[in-house]
Amino acid sequence: MPSYDFDLFTIGAGSGGVAASRRAASYGARVGICEDSRVGGTCVIRGCIPKKLLVYGAQFADAFEDAAAYGWSVVPPRFDWPTLIANKNKEINRLEGIYHKLLKDSGCALFEARGRLIDPHTIEVGGKRVTAANIIVATGSHPVMPQIPGIEHVISSNEALDLPALPRHIIIVGGGYIALEFANIFSGFKAEVTLIVRGEEVLNGFDDDVRAAIAQEMRQRGVVIRLRTELERIEKSPIEGCTVRTKAGEEISADLVMYATGRKPNIKGIGLEEAGIKLHKDGRVIVDEWSKTTVPHIYAIGDVTDRLNLTPVAIAEGRAIAETLFNNNPMAISHENVATAVFSQPPVATVGLSERRAREKGYTLDIYRTRFRALKHTLSGREERTLMKLVVDRATDRVLGCHMVGADAPEIIQSLAVAITCGATKRQFDRTMAMHPTAAEEFVTLRDKVPDPKAEAAE
């Protein structure tokens, strides 16, 4: 039987790679892991965590504005962007240190260098070659830019987290969750924001009512959303930072242009094809339900597989591999009914099927929907409205999807995700006693069905 340096070697020390490595080491496996950037990966260093800290910062603007109606005399607030960025960086450094400690304490050997597969069992890392019985590829993804004239003048979400100064006017290109989150961040800090979206509406793939509701709320907050718009070129402007020209011939100028139009797997130069691993034509690594690549002892998790690019999913995928290989506990991860959130203002959260997707799957549906003004805003005067929606299978009464736009939506939907995973029915929602006064109680007090679109069309 061949002898290897490691039982498991992980290429990439993001959330998924670290989780897999630590879990494997806890079962006695000899584990090596490498990272050529900062330990913690996209989520900790340049994604979820720093972005959420900026979201928190932007939310204080609403709090200051609303306080007066509740009897507070607030001195006109002053915001300092460099202070926020410095404090954010301090926290990210702290978290990176924790990740280093976690790996060390678990007994994993960390190589702070780029890893490259030489053959199916050999990795070159930092000028040294090591061998492993099993390998996990957890290299994540990176922002991609279209090849149009002047694209070198724009920034991505990576740079947006570390700007030296807050722009007065920023153009953000894209209609996905990253674009919306940064549009709301900068708008919250009172920058002028123009969101340029190629499609018919923001948040493609989300429930249609959710898409319309968040777009309405963003416009109400002053974000200019230009739908069905594509850019032809970007030029540096002597007066303002950049001028963009649309394919319709319009010109818009701003201090800064940010692209958030997608991400692609980090596969360049890591030897996947040399090791015999097959890729999709779009670059993602082909895996089965066990996260195995086309080379049985080499696995891939997280964004590099482009299945469901969420940190908890990558962590679960990695831990499942460790359980399967080193704890005699074969485990495959389901990618259905995974809750997700958009940390916009107000936030969006969803779990399960959208109405459109459920109909495409052949379900006959009962739809329950409400829009209301939250109690908090009855004194503040804020016009923000909350949307809640349940998608129910008429045949079985099972709740197929829960969707929300409004304050605390991610916290509320996270709890409802348990119910959806357990196959809860609308009757069980109805039998649940409401907690009053809360926004969440609306999910268990919805009684009136939305008129069936087919019935309405027949009238």
Q: What is the mean pLDDT of the chain?
A: 96
Decide if 6-142+264-326 and 346-450 have a common fold. Answer: no
Annotated catalytic residue: which of 153, 280, 403, 436? Answer: 436
Domain ranges for the chain: 6-142+264-326, 151-261, 346-450
100-109, 235-244, 373-382: least confident range: 235-244
HSE, CB side, 13 Å, CA atoms: give it for residue 454.
5
CATH H superfamily, domain 346-450: FAD/NAD-linked reductase, C-terminal dimerisation domain (3.30.390.30)
Q: Is 30 exposed, middle or buried (0-12, 13-18, 19+ CB in 10 A)?
A: middle
pLDDT the model gives residue 321: 98
pLDDT at position 30 over 60: yes
pLDDT at position 92 over 80: yes
What's the fold here for domain 6-142+264-326?
FAD/NAD(P)-binding domain (3.50.50)
CATH H superfamily, domain 151-261: FAD/NAD(P)-binding domain (3.50.50.60)
Task: Please state, as a whole number, how many other Cβ atoms lie within 10 Å of the Cβ of residue 456.
Answer: 9
> pLDDT band at residue 239, thresholds of 50, 70 and 90?
confident
Which residue reads 């009897």 in tokens? 71
pLDDT the model gives residue 74: 86
Quote the percentage of the chain above a pLDDT of 70.
Answer: 98
pLDDT the model gives residue 456: 61
280 is catalytic: no
Supply the DSSP string of 265-322, one letter for each residue.
E--TTS-TTTTT--B-TTSPBP--TT-B-SSTTEEE-GGGGTSS--HHHHHHHHHHHH
Mean pLDDT of 42-55: 96
pLDDT the model gives residue 459: 57
Which residue reads 């690549």 in tokens? 293
Mean pLDDT of 180-204: 97
